[in-house]
Structure 1
C-alpha cells in the first residue's frame, strides 16, 4: 500500500512538471503558466525598450546599452530608479518611450493580474471558486472580465483629470508644449506608481505647491489601492457594504499614511536638510505628507531623501517593504499580507487557533501564504544586500539596504546610490526590479494550485522562540 502511494506521488510530481513547449503536426506549441508568461513579457519589453532607447532620436547624447536596459526595465516595472536624467538625457521621443512602458507595466500588470485570477478560478475546484471571487470582491467570474475594462476606464479618467490639474500649474510656468507634456508624463508616472520625473530633482522645486503635491499623491494612492477595490467602489459607495478586503485595504492605507505623516513630520521638522529648511509651516506640513505617502510605492520626492534622519529612513524602508494594495500598480508584500501577519501574531498572543477581524476569520492557508510572501521577500532583500555589499564596497550599508528595498518594492526612491552603481550592481538591481514586480503574484499563483499529498506524515512539535 505504501509503495503504491509513493508511486502515485511520483506520478503526480511528473504530471505537475511539463515542458514549456511541445511539438505537434502544426508546429511548436508553447505551454507556459501565467507567471511564466508575465516574467517573459517583462523581459521582452525590457529588451524592446532598450533597443528603442538606443536609437539616436531617443537621447540627447550616446548612452550605454546597460543604461538603456536599466532605464527600460525601471520603466516597465514601474520602479523609477534612474541612471540617466530623464529630462535632459532623453529627447521627447525617449521620454515618450518611458511613459509608454510605464503605462504598459502599470495597467498591463493590473489587467494581467485579473486574467491570471480568471485562469485560477478555472483551475481551482468548484468548491474554491467562491473563495477566488470573494478575494477579488467580485460576485462572479463573469464580473472579473468586465473589471478589466473598468481598470482601463478608471485609469483614463484619473489620468485625464490629473493632466488638467497639473497643467494648471505647469502650463503657465513652462508654456503649452512643455507644460502639457510634463503634466501628461507626471500623471502617467504617478497613477502607475512609477516615480519617473522629467525634473532632475524630482518634485523638489514644487515642494510648496499644494496643487502639485495633492494631485500627484492622490494619483498614486488611487493607483495603489488595487483593482479589486476599484471594482468594489464601482458597485457601492457605502462602507458597510464593502467586502472585507476592501475595508481592510482602505482602513490600513489611511492608518499607515496618517501614522507615517505624523512620525516623519515630527522627526524631520527641525532637520535643516529636509523640512527644517523650508520657510513656512504650510510647506513643512505639505512636504511631510508627501514624503509619508510616496514610499508605498510612488518614488517621487519633494525633499532630499539622502538628508533624512535615520529614524525617518527606517520608517521609509518599512513602508516600501509593505507596499500598497494587491493587484495594483504598486508592489511590496502588499497591505493584505501585512494585515494578515499582524492578525496572526495577535491571535497567537491571545491563544486563538485562527486570526479574526470584522467578524471574519482567516484560514490557515491564508496565514501560510502571507508568511511565505513575507519570508520570500525578506530573503530576497538579504541576498541582494549581500550581493551589493560585494559589488559596491565603498557604499554604506544604509544606502545599500535602502536601494535594495526600493528596487524590490519597485518604489524608485534612492539616497543617491543608483547613479554610482557598478556594472554588476546595476545588473543585480535590474534583476531585483523584475523579481519585485513579478514575484508576489507568481508565488500566490503557485501556492493556490493545491495538491493533495499521497502520504500523510506523523505530526511533530518543535520549540519556537
Structure 2
C-alpha cells in the first residue's frame, strides 16, 4: 500500500501527467453534458461516441464536427461547446487560476508547475502575473472581435441572434477552434471584408502566443524583441504571405473555388485560406474542390501550426524555424546555429527534432490505420489526420463519414495534438537515471 501511495503522489506531482489528465477530464465532462437530450434540438441524445468526439474537438480547439453545430445543437449544447472551447483554448489550469483568484486562494507550488508546463514557460517567475495577463488580453481581444463581427451579423441575423453569432465566432476564432453556427463556415461571406479580416486577425493573434504580446508591449521596436518573438513574427509573416500567393496562383482559374470570384474577393479568399491552416478550421471556399497541390500545401501549413504558448497546435512555428536554420547551418558547415545574431542552444534543436519526429510518426501511423478502416483516398485521410493533430478542424468531408473506430482514432489524435506530442511522450516515458559516466563515441554513416 505504501508503494502504491508513493506512486500516486509522484503521479500527481508530475506536471505533464497532471496536464494530460486535466484535459482528459475536461473532455469527459463535456461529453457527458453534450450527451444529454437537452443539448440537442430534437431532444434526443447524440450518442456517447459522437458527444465525446464533439467535446474532444472543442476542448482541443480543433473544429472537426460530426453534425452541423448551428442546426443540431440546442442553445444549451452551443453554450457548452463554446465554454469548452474557451477553457480548452486558455487551458484548464488558467481557468482554475481564475477561480482561485476570485475566491482569494493562493496558487500553490504544484499548481505553478502545471501552469508553467501549460504556458510553455522556461521559469516560474511571474507565472501568476502572466496568467492574469493571458486572461485579460483574451477577453479584450475576443470582445473587440465580437464587436466588429456584430456590425455585420446583426444586420443579417437580427439583434439577439447576431450578438450570439458574434460572440461565438469571436471566441472560436481567437481560440483557433473553427466551430461555426452558419452551417457552411465563412463560405456565405467569402467576399465580406469585415468578417474575413476580423476572423483572420483573431486567428493570427490567437496563434502568436501570449509571450509575444508581452514582449511587444515592453519592447515596441523589432530590434529589441527577444529571439523567440522575432522568429515567431518572421516565420508567421512569411508563411502567411507565401501561402496566400501560392493559393492565389494555383486556384485562380479553378471553377470550384476562386474562378467565380472577382479579383478583390480572390485576394480575400486566398489570404483567408492561408490563415486558417494555422490551426483554425474555418474555410471560405469549397475545400473538396481544391486542387491536390493546394491540399498538400495546406497539410504542410497545418503541420507547422501556430506558435508556442498560443491557442494554436501543430509542431509550432519556432520548431519549424529551428529545423530550417539547423539544416542551413549544417549545409554551410557552421559550428553554431545562429538567428538574429543569437545562438540557438542544442537543447532547443534536440527538442525541435523530437517534437517533429513524434508528430510525423503519429500522423503517418494514424493515417496508415485509417486508410484500412475508412472508405476514403489517402490524401483526404492524411489531410484529416494532420488537421486533427494540429487542432485545425479542416476536413474534405471525411469527418461525418468516419466509422466508430475512425472517430476514436481522431479523438486520440486531437487529444495528443492539444496536450503536445512531447508532453504525451513524457507522460508514458520512464526517466533515465543520470549516471556519472558517458559512453564512448561511435560513428554512424548518414545521408
> Are residues 1:337 and 2:331 paired?
no
- Decide which of 139, 142, 146 is 2:129's aligned counterpart: 146
Deviations 1:376-418 (A, max 9, x none): 00000111011111211x2100110000000000000000000
Deviations 1:118-166 (A, max 9, x none): 538999xxxxxxxxx9x95x9x743332111111111111011011100
Q: CA deviation at 1:441?
A: 5.7
TM-score, reference length from structure 1? 0.87
Q: Which residue of 2 aligns with 1:4?
A: none
Relative to structure 1, the CA distance from residue 288 to residue 218 in structure 2 (aligned partners, 3 Å threshold; closer, same or farther) is same
Contact conserved, 1:373 with 1:443, CA < 8 A, in 2? no
Inter-partner Cα distance in structure 2 for 1:277 and 1:65: 41
> Are residues 1:71 and 2:65 paired?
no
- Decide which of 217, 221, 226 is 1:243's aligned counterpart: 226
Long gaps (5+) in structure 1: 1-14, 23-28, 124-132
Inter-partner Cα distance in structure 2 for 1:116 and 1:265: 49
Relative to structure 1, the CA distance from residue 272 to residue 261 in structure 2 (aligned partners, 3 Å threshold; closer, same or farther) is same
Relative to structure 1, the CA distance from residue 182 to residue 150 in structure 2 (aligned partners, 3 Å threshold; closer, same or farther) is same
| Aligned residue pair count | 429
Computing the radius of gyration over CA atoms, which structure comes out larger, 1 or 2? 1
Which segment drifts farther, 378-387 or 231-240? Answer: 231-240
Q: Which residue of 2 aligns with 1:285?
A: 267
Q: CA deviation at 1:289?
A: 0.4
Compute the RMSD of aligned alpha carbons: 2.6
- Decide which of 116, 119, 138 is 2:113's aligned counterpart: 119
> Are residues 1:42 and 2:23 paired?
yes
Inter-partner Cα distance in structure 1 for 2:298 and 2:93: 25
Q: Which residue of 2 aligns with 1:327?
A: 309
Relative to structure 1, the CA distance from residue 274 to residue 20 in structure 2 (aligned partners, 3 Å threshold; closer, same or farther) is farther
Contact conserved, 1:120 with 1:445, CA < 8 A, in 2? no
Deviations 1:320-369 (A, max 9, x none): 00011101100100011001100110111011122111111112221111
Inter-partner Cα distance in structure 2 for 1:438 and 1:105: 10
Q: Which runs of structure 1 show a deviation greater than 4 angstroms over 4 or more consecutive aligned residues?
A: 17-20, 112-118, 120-123, 443-447
Relative to structure 1, the CA distance from residue 116 to residue 75 in structure 2 (aligned partners, 3 Å threshold; closer, same or farther) is farther
Relative to structure 1, the CA distance from residue 305 to residue 109 in structure 2 (aligned partners, 3 Å threshold; closer, same or farther) is farther
Q: Which residue of 2 aligns with 1:190?
A: 173
Inter-partner Cα distance in structure 1 for 2:11 and 2:240: 44
Deviations 1:45-90 (A, max 9, x none): 1111111112222101321211111101100000000001100000
What does 1:166-315 align with in structure 2 at a 5 Å threshold? 166-278=149-261, 280-315=262-297
Q: Which residue of 1 aligns with 2:446?
A: 464
Q: Which residue of 2 aligns with 1:406?
A: 387
Q: CA deviation at 1:371?
A: 0.5
Long gaps (5+) in structure 2: 98-108
- Decide which of 44, 58, 75 is 2:39's aligned counterpart: 58
- Decide which of 389, 394, 415 is 2:371's aligned counterpart: 389
Which segment drifts farther, 52-61 or 396-405? Answer: 52-61
Q: Which residue of 2 aligns with 1:346?
A: 328
> Are residues 1:438 and 2:419 paired?
yes
Relative to structure 1, the CA distance from residue 109 to residue 307 in structure 2 (aligned partners, 3 Å threshold; closer, same or farther) is farther
Q: CA deviation at 1:20?
A: 4.2
Relative to structure 1, the CA distance from residue 387 to residue 210 in structure 2 (aligned partners, 3 Å threshold; closer, same or farther) is same
> Are residues 1:21 and 2:15 paired?
no
Contact conserved, 2:257 with 2:290, CA < 8 A, in 1? yes
Q: CA deviation at 1:32?
A: 3.9
Inter-partner Cα distance in structure 2 for 1:112 and 1:56: 27
Relative to structure 1, the CA distance from residue 122 to residue 155 in structure 2 (aligned partners, 3 Å threshold; closer, same or farther) is closer
Which segment drifts farther, 260-269 or 34-43? Answer: 34-43
Relative to structure 1, the CA distance from residue 122 to residue 101 in structure 2 (aligned partners, 3 Å threshold; closer, same or farther) is closer
